[in-house]
Chain A
Amino acid sequence: MNRTPILFLNVLVIATCGLVYELLAGTLASYVLGDSVTQFSVIIGIYLSALGAGAWLSRFLDRELARRFVDVELGVAVLGGASAPLLFLSFAHLSFFHVVLYGVVFLIGVLVGLEIPLLMRILKDHLDFKELVARVLAFDYAGALIASLLFPIFLVPKLGLVRTSLLFGILNAAVGLWATWLMRPLIGGSVTRLRAQGCVVVALLLVAFVKADAITSLAEDGMFADDIVYSKTTAYQRIVITRNRAGFQLFLNGNLQFSSADEYRYHEALVHPVMMLSGEGGRVVRRVLVLGGGDGLALREILKYPSVESVTLVDLDPGMTQLSHRFPPLARLNRDSFDDPRVRVVNQDAMIWLETDAPPFDAAIVDFPDPNTFALGKLYTTRFYKMLKQRLAPGAAVSVQSTSPLFARNSYWCIVRTLEAAGFQVRPYYTAVPSFGVWGFALARREPFDIPARAPSVELKFLNDQSLAAMFTLSADLGPVPVEINRLDNQSLVRYYEAEWKRYE
């Protein structure tokens, strides 16, 4: 049978596919879980042992080897092809992602492990044992080389993980389908059903390949510098989480909200000055209000204070707060704040929620996305701050994330002046957050106050007495500029913001 040389080409393809699935699983696990050394090491270990298990299992297959080979090919095609989308999905939705990850890797390994022994047994009647082993193993390792070079150079940068996975699934299925012709004489009985199965698998994977292009992440891969590990469109916004070597990043509607590498600087600056000021003079901070802040990172800082008895977090988007609660890397970063019995989540528009009744709060943190739409701009108006003021107990302080005083100086001072116009005493302050740049906040209270002098005695990475004092010392290029007050009926802030950030786009 002079088809034998072509069968070796199959070995090459099979081997390439097998290694690609392994690399995919390792890369994906590193992306979403971080710690790539551990991830790759564990994945390789599991995969190799699964190959062994597959080889061992091959001894239990005695009859219709060619037919079984095609079955195995189609099985690898389905499981390997769908592995990347499947793992992304389970990562987003399941807390036992590890189990799925290692399970999928093991299953793929077992099936791939069956391939070579089966093929060798099919070919054994046509070649010397010496020749057989030499050629099969040579093609097998050559395939591994091709895969390991293609993967980082071409596949990941050009296709991304999902499409790479689907593409190699298609190749696997094609090998299986092709084998129904190549090995036709070795397959007893009708091959119609086998071929039909093969066609269905190829068609399904093709559809997924094309759809993957149309759907979300691939289009966004170009927008975001790093790999997207999660994306979802809620009723209110588009949530995207990316991952790079430094950690992961949250984007809402394409705007960076935090990077896990340096968010502690932002959140310590946002939370602790207001907690210190509110607790000044022996007042006990029991009830805290968070407006926005659906990532739960401000919560994490607030919950460090044992005096806090309850935190009410008002965030418009249940999609966001649920993600922060359930999405393992986010939940880890906010230290499972949403599981804390002191935390109550209200998914409502903050301005409308402020109209409802609640006992006064001892401190409040306002952490909304930057005012780049009218819907967000209203949350920075005199009306909004006046309503907030009515919810505060005497002596309660507020901190407001106020965009960058360097990139958007008018916007920053507009927020400060609007707080003042609403009847607050305000101290502007800022800090450097590498992912964002120079970032501004406003510390406000009805009653006059001095800047807190001492950092609190809770666990802190960024703040100490010196950095606390430094935050309130504004450099000359951040100083006040004359601005209008932001009102519901003029939305001055949105107009400032748009004009200022346009320069950086």
Chain B
Amino acid sequence: MNRRELLAAFLGVPFALAACRTGESARFPEGEIVGASDRLGHLIRDGLRPEPAADAWERAGVVIVGGGVAGLAAAWRFLKAGFEDFVLLELEPAPGGTARAGEAHGVVPYPWGAHYLPAPLKENRALVRLLDEMGVLEGADAEGEPVVAEQFVCRDPEERIYYRGRWYEGLYLRAGESAEDARQLQVFNAEVDRWAGWRDAKGRRAFAIPVANSSDDAETTALDRVSMTEWMDARGFTSTRLRWLVDYACRDDYGLRSEQASAWAGLFYFASRMRRPGAESQPLITWPEGNGHLVKYLYDRSRERVRLGLAVADIRPREFQKGSGATDDESRGVRANVGSAGIGGGFGGLDGHGGVEVVAVTYDERSAVGIRADQVVFAAPQFLTKYLLKPYREGALPAHVAEFEYGAWMVANLFLEERPRQAVGFPLAWDNVLYESPSLGYVVATHQRGLERGPTVFTYYYPLTDADPRAARTRLLSTDWKGWADVALSDLERAHPDIRAITTRLDVMRWGHAMIRPRTGFLWGGARQKARRPFGPVHFAHTDLSGVALFEEAFDHGLRAAEEVLTARGLKFESLR
């Protein structure tokens, strides 16, 4: 693929023609592809399952598989309950999953993925408690809603948008808006307001965070059966700029186009972050390094029990090793029901006969370790169950696993020696979006630190929205560093002509399975409801079980799974959820 084909593929044909006409001798900074260890992951996928030596076996009460937000949240929950007999295994050399941050080369730390958290509503008790513990909150307001300390709320100006040579404030393109555009926006906002105020017979919101607290009433779940675009069409929302805003929202939060995302997910984005109809969206909490700040806090709490650079290759519930016929889906269902009833697990976890064996490979593939435990918190995406969970691998794979689809993302961090020359219009904001780009633009790491001049780091996000997620992953991984650097620089060059001259370094992260895709029919189609039930001693915890990739969801599932385990172990505790 030559340069023109590459840019055409990722940025569009007209743009590629323009870019190649003007910048044939494009300049490149230094940089590399970092992280997301697809090599070791793919070895395990393809059958790397070493058996630990006899003296390489250890014993732990619980193994947490995965050191992303869900796994770290489970660890935090265990420690809150005074339960310390666990170990957390993480494939990557750093914790955090897609919420991780980087700090090499930058004047401030910077995100590699998730970079903000909307202030939780008071109903999200556990998250409020975490933020309070971290000193992010300053008490509560008159309605009992948590108040976020000013320094943690995203500073103004929050967003700006670039359109045809000029930057404008905000995400919705006001400039050149027609009366009809304005009317449709008003009607759309009224619709969002209606959903923000909607309550079912049990008093539940239509769109709550965490999703587990949302209503499952037929009126709301019906929204999952149409795409966001169909929903817009049905209501006569034809305004180009309104449709762009909605499409941007879907790409931003889900890595999907509005025609791929379900209307439930689309409306969730807008309505779940509002306290009440007509209220502003909840303020965003952020740090220079994004949610890496939350990750670091959680990791610091459980650091002694976290083993990084250890890839789990095999999870073997002991019950299945004894009986050869007990691997069909039906028997799993029965046992799982027993497990979730809280009797201590259908596999008799504590009596020494059940339990589970976890085998992990060191990052260098040189050695394997085994851990015998009573329970596992599987805080990794569902698609990994078919490789890591022995019974699934050997024929008992439930149908719902295939329903989980993941989007591919490219994230680039650009290290700038100074700020781009000010273009016409609104000044640099936190989130800077290009209207006519398939990328999501960039966030500025120094914004929340209050450094308005000098070196900075731009984090550039590019979701691959191909209909077939495997095709997206192939495109993601077959494009090398130079290709991705060219896409990012060429894209930003239209708004910042000097970007190549001031970028001293550009690192690229290729996230093959960045986000669960809440495409039409997935959220309320039953798969995620089935997937969250324990499988014997294995308890599942991951944001994909909510169908949307959010810190709040990962955190909630980590807590839920941890509390399931505490129950299974017969420990007394008061639920934080």
Bound together, the chains give a CA A375 to CA B427 distance in angstroms of: 11
List CB contacts (< 8 Å) of B446-463 with chain A: 449-454
Q: Contact: B450 with A378, CB < 8 Å?
A: yes
> Which listed residue, A235, A374, A488, touches B150 by the CB 8 Å rule?
A488
Q: Does B155 belong to the interface (CB within 8 Å)? A: yes
**Minimum distance in angstroms from B356 CB to a CB of chain A:** 47
Answer yes or no: A37 CB below 8 A from chain B CBs.
no
A349 in contact with B156 given A373-B427, A382-B150, A488-B151 (CB within 8 Å):
no
Bound CA–CA A236/B283 (angstroms): 31
A381–B220 alpha-carbon span in the complex (Å): 42
Q: A422: shortest Cβ distance to chain B, in Å?
A: 10
Partner of A235, one of B156, B157, B158, B454: B454
- Cα–Cα, bound, A382→B149 (Å): 11
Decide if A349 touches B450 in the complex (CB within 8 Å).
yes
**Chain B contact patch, size range:** 10 to 19
Task: Report Cα–Cα, A386/B451, bound state, in Å.
Answer: 19
User: Do A352 and B154 have beta carbons less than 8 Å apart?
Assistant: no
A373, closest chain B residue (CB): B427
Q: Nearest Cβ distance between residue A381 and chain B, in whole angstroms? A: 7
Residues of the B chain whose Cβ atoms lie less than 8 Å from the Cβ of A381: 150
Shortest distance in angstroms between B283's beta carbon and chain A's nearest beta carbon? 6
A487: Cβ under 8 A from any B Cβ: yes
Contact B156 A490 (CB under 8 A): yes
Interchain CA distance A57-B295 in the complex, whole Å: 83
Query: Among the listed B158, B283, B449, B452, which residue makes an inter-chain contact with A375, where contact means beta carbons less than 8 Å apart?
Result: B452
Docked-complex contact B156 and A374, CB < 8 angstroms: yes
Q: CB of A104 within 8 A of chain B?
A: no
Please report the C-alpha to C-alpha distance between residue A236 and residue B418 in the assembled complex, in whole angstroms: 12
**Which of A352, A373, A487, A489 lies at the interface centre, i.e. has the most chain B CB atoms within 10 A of its CB?**
A489
| Complex contacts, A383 vs chain B, CB 8 Å | 150-151
Q: Which of A482-505 contact B (CB under 8 A)?
A: 487-491
**Interface contact B450-A351, CB-CB below 8 Å:** yes
Please indicate the chain A residues that have their CB under 8 angstroms from the CB of B454 in the complex. Answer: 235
B153 within 8 A of A: yes
- Pair B453/A236 contact, Cβ less than 8 Å: yes
Residues of B within 8 A of A490 (CB): 156
Contact of B155 among A373, A386, A488 (CB under 8 A): A488
Q: What is the chain B residue whose CB lies nearest that of A235?
A: B453
Distance in angstroms from B277 CB to nearest chain A CB is 22
Contact in complex: A489, B155 (CB < 8 Å): yes
* CB–CB A378/B155 < 8 A: yes
The residues of A that contact B157 with a CB separation of less than 8 Å are 374, 491
Task: Note all chain A residues with C-beta closer than 8 A to B153.
Answer: 487-489
A interface residue count range (under 10 / 10 to 19 / 20 to 34 / 35 or more): 10 to 19
A366-400 vs B, CB cutoff 8 Å, 1 = contact: the mask equals 00000001110010011100100000000000000
Cross-chain contact of B452 among A374, A382, A487, A489 (Cβ < 8 A): A374
Tell me, in angstroms, the Cα distance from A349 to B453 when the chains sit together. Answer: 10
Within 8 A of A (CB), among B140-198: 150-151, 153-158
Q: Which of chain B's residues have a CB closer than 8 A to the CB of A487?
A: 150, 153, 156
Tell me the complex Cα distance, A351–B449, Å. 10
Residues of A within 8 A of B450 (CB): 349, 351-352, 378
Closest chain-A Cβ to B418's Cβ sits at a distance in Å of 9
Q: A374-B427, A383-B151 are in contact. Are A489 and B453 (CB under 8 A)?
A: no
Distance to closest chain A CB from B209 (angstroms): 20
Q: Kindly provide the distance from the CB of A319 to the nearest chain B CB, expressed in whole angstroms.
A: 13
Q: In the assembly, what is the distance between CA of A235 and CA of B455, in Å?
A: 12
Assembly CA distance A487 to B158 (angstroms): 13
Q: Give the shortest distance, in Å, between A415 (CB) and chain B (any CB).
A: 16
Contact with A along B273-285 (1 / 0, CB 8 A): 0000000000100
Residues of B within 8 A of A349 (CB): 450-451
How distant is the Cα of A236 from the Cα of B450 in the complex, in angstroms?
Answer: 14
Closest chain B residue to A488, Cβ basis: B155
Q: Which residues of A contact B449 (CB under 8 A)?
A: 352
CB nearest neighbor in A for B284: A489
**CA separation between A382 and B450, bound complex, in Å?**
15
Which residues does chain A contribute within 8 Å of B156, judged by CB atoms?
A: 374, 487-491
* Shortest distance from the beta carbon of A483 to any chain B beta carbon, whole Å: 16
A235 partner residues in chain B, CB cutoff 8 A: 453-454
A490 to B284, CA, bound (A): 12
CB-nearest residue of chain B relative to A352? B450
Complex CA gap A386/B151 in Å reads 11
Hey, which chain A residues are within 8 Å of B150, CB to CB?
A: 381-383, 386, 487-489
Whole-angstrom distance from the CB of A400 to the nearest CB of chain B? 18
A374: which B residues are within 8 A, CB to CB? 156-157, 427, 452
- Chain A residues in 8 Å Cβ range of B283: 489
- Bound-complex Cα distance A381 to B153 (A): 13
The residue in chain A whose Cβ has the minimal distance to the Cβ of B429 is A374
Tell me the B106-164 residues at the A interface (CB within 8 Å).
Answer: 150-151, 153-158
> What's the Cα separation between A374 and B156 when bound, in Å?
8
In the bound complex, what is the Cα–Cα distance between A381 and B450 (angstroms)?
12
* Residues in chain B near residue A236, CB distance under 8 A: 453
Which residues of B lie under 8 Å from residue A488 when comparing CB positions?
150-151, 153, 155-156
Beyond A374-B427, A489-B155, 19 additional contacts (C-beta under 8 Å) are A235-B454, A236-B453, A349-B450, A349-B451, A352-B450, A352-B451, A373-B452, A374-B452, A375-B453, A382-B150, A487-B153, A487-B156, A488-B153, A488-B155, A488-B156, A489-B156, A489-B283, A491-B155, A491-B156
20 contacts between A and B (CB under 8 A): A235-B453, A235-B454, A349-B450, A349-B451, A352-B451, A373-B452, A374-B157, A378-B450, A381-B150, A382-B150, A487-B150, A488-B155, A489-B150, A489-B156, A489-B158, A489-B283, A490-B156, A491-B155, A491-B156, A491-B157
Sorted nearest first, the 9 A-B pairs with minimum C-beta distance are A375-B452, A491-B156, A489-B153, A383-B150, A488-B155, A488-B150, A489-B156, A351-B450, A490-B156
Contacts from B to A (Cβ < 8 Å): 150-151, 153-158, 283, 427, 449-454
